[in-house]
Structure 1
Amino acid sequence: MRAVPLVGGPVELRGALDLETTQAGVMPRRLPAWTKEQYQDPSVYGVTVMPSGVRLVFRTDARELEFEVLTSTGQLDSDPRPRPTGMLELLVDGVLVGRQQAPVGNVLRMAGPGAVQRLVPGEPGTVRFAGLPAGMKDVELWLPQQTPTELVALRADGDVLAPLPDGRRRWVHHGSSISHCIEADGPTGTWPVVAAALGGVEVINLSQAGNALLDPYVARTIRDTPADLISLKVGINIVSLAAFRLRTFGPAVHGFLDTIRDGHPDVPLLLISPVSCPALEEAPGPTATGPDGRLAALGDPADVAGGALSLAVVRAELARITAARQESDPHLHYLDGRELLGPDEAEDLADGLHPTAAAYRRMGKRFAAHAFATDGPFR
């Protein structure tokens, strides 16, 4: 087996905008390094290093590959084992040929959700993919979407070359946990990846679980990232965290769009409202997890008349903003998120908020059918 450099060699890392050097190797981040100075909440960093949509891309004639990684996963003191680390998936010429559980490395122990974490250091583990087809082939090695993963080593029993340009358009997407897709059955089962495969495009998923809050540094990141297509899924975190009132929400959306348009004035941009979430359709946040483990709204529905945001209000405001801007921005489009997952599919929200793995795949197919249709916004 020959060692293949992970940095400065033939391997291309796609889906990440930064590589952080660690003691073990390098760790992909889905936001640029400069953004770290612009937030205080550690959860932002935590979800940024979860590599949803991140993959290693190269060509090789190898029949066997070894990939050494160091993962970091959480564990409550009351749980007998760490949280699942997710899957590493290997695609050859666009076809899934191998899936391996990511090895458990570092474990972050905590007394309860949100408690101080205690690091239990772990060791890198190796995943092996054998029996690959003969001959030169295009390979994509996808990282687990829910687990920070440090890249330690890549080894192959053949030549490894840089990928060839394929001419696919680049789609940049930003959203919440429902676009981050922690609950998907693997990295290629997230709805943006499913949609990208059906649409024949390359996706960069800048979604931030729990943190899609119209942060200006995200808008500037999208502005500065080369893109042929852009989509924004806005609203669920804003309602669940009671982050805006009606007075401040509209200007924040306009400002986010204005910043993106500074760098991409004519790129098709699809603004997507939230999927159905029964607990928040008419009631505002904040939210909590109820005794049944499902999402519950704590806000008073009567407060909506005073400017609190429910999902119904958010959808109406996003549709209004899109319509108001379209005269000067004909490349701006709107999609009601309930077309991806509607009110008659509440059984597909296992915790009242997050879709099941099967529902994520269905959302990807529905998005592709809408966005990449001959008369769709991404045609």
Structure 2
Amino acid sequence: MDGIDAVFVNDPLLARSILVKDSKNYGRGELFQKGRNFSRVGMLAEDEAVHRHYRRLANPYLRATKVDEYLPTMRGIAEKVVSSWRAGQPINIQVEMCRIAGSIALAALFPGLPSETTAALDERLAVLNWATIKRPLYGKAAIRARVQGPSRELVRAREDVRALLLTCIKDQLNSPDSHTGYLSALLSDADGKGNRLLTADEVCDEAVMMLTAGTVTTASVMSWALYKLSEDPSMEERVIADLATSGNDSAAPGIERREHSYTIRFLMEVLRLYPPVWISCRMTRSPVTLGDESLPEGANVVISSYLLHRNPDRYPEPNRFDPDRWLSLRPGIAEGALYIPFGTGPKGCVGEPFAWQELDVLLDTVTRAWKLSTEPGSQVRTAAETTLHPRQLLMTPRPRSH
């Protein structure tokens, strides 16, 4: 792994053991360290107790029973951006998805900011999220990045977001009763003696991490989803028909109550073939036995959801895009496979309910207004960087005839 010894685990039962059953024996590995470019406190702290504490702190804002409240916000932001597109003018769909997802994360998790500040943060977040997606984690490009440091685009974008967000944080410290949401929860987090646990700078880093983590994955998944629909008109028609009958508007029921719909099966298949977090790494905390192998303390163990999701024993014709395979399959370890687009176990994605709701809303909003297409003969290649995303995806919107 870029010159570092690692054990690659592609057996689903062993992978599940690492992530769930025996997770206490594994800490964050080398890949995780390379990804910690925003925050070293809070959710990404090395101390497991601190990590669990901040998961619990974020959970009230991301749990399934809460995300229904975000529906009007999600739809309003998506419609505003989508309505700005112009027929026949190609757009970088990934940049647009970064713009929408970043604005939604900011509005949901950090409400109450002045409108001018929110608008400025929206623009800066869109730039930061797109630069983050393109950040290499593996291979020659990653080695060069470690030697040369992060790209100027990424450094500048991060500092632009931090500068403005830090001003908001300091303003809130001066008037703590004027704001709500996750930002206030971070600022008011204190020990038993009332001492604040995070400095303003640490709160800022944690906020940037949350805004970025919740955006780059959604933007990558939505880009693949819109591309797959553009490639298959019959599939697109089924998704549109399903969304139309679901009553998915500002008063729609939660996503968990539509788990067997064609739209959800379609999104599950997108996540199977193009999991945004395509690889992860753990490190043994002590000597362990994994299958028939004995691993010493400090061994890096690598797991790829991309490969697990393409296991031919579990998924016949694993490279074929087929949403209807989920009519008979269910996520889990049954039948010798592991479906982990959001991870699993105690370190699984805390924002999974939020992500499902957002994907559903974005898919509905875009397909109601536009039919998207790529340039005839163009090839869309996969880029395995911070997320698994299309290397380049220009799409041309055409008004959808109703």
TM-score (norm 2): 0.24
Q: More helix by proportion, 1 or 2?
A: 2
TM-score (norm 1): 0.25
Q: More strand by proportion, 1 or 2?
A: 1
